[in-house]
A = this chain, B = another copy of it.
Amino acid sequence: MARIGLTTQRVTFAAADLADEIGFEGVTVSAVARILGVRDASLYSHIKNVRDLRTRVAVLSLAELADRVGAALAGRAGKDALVAFANAYRAYSKEHPGRYAATLLELGPEVAAASAAGRHASMTRAILRGYALEESDQTDAVRLLHSVFHGYVSLECSGGFQNTQRAADASWSRALDALDVVLNNWPPA
Tell me the A residues contacting B by CB distance below 8 Å: 104-106, 109, 112-113, 136-137, 139-141, 143-144, 146-152, 154-155, 158-166, 168, 170-171, 174-175, 177-182, 185-187, 189
5 contacts between A and B (CB under 8 A): A139-B171, A140-B178, A144-B174, A147-B175, A185-B185
How many angstroms between the C-alpha atoms of A104 and B179 in the bound complex? 24
- Name the one of B105, B165, B171, B187 contacting A174, with C-beta atoms under 8 angstroms: B187
- Name the one of B106, B136, B181, B187 contacting A166, with C-beta atoms under 8 angstroms: B136
How many angstroms between the C-alpha atoms of A189 and B170 in the bound complex? 10
Chain B CB within 10 A, most for which of A109, A140, A144, A147: A147
Nearest chain-B residue to A185 (Cβ)? B181
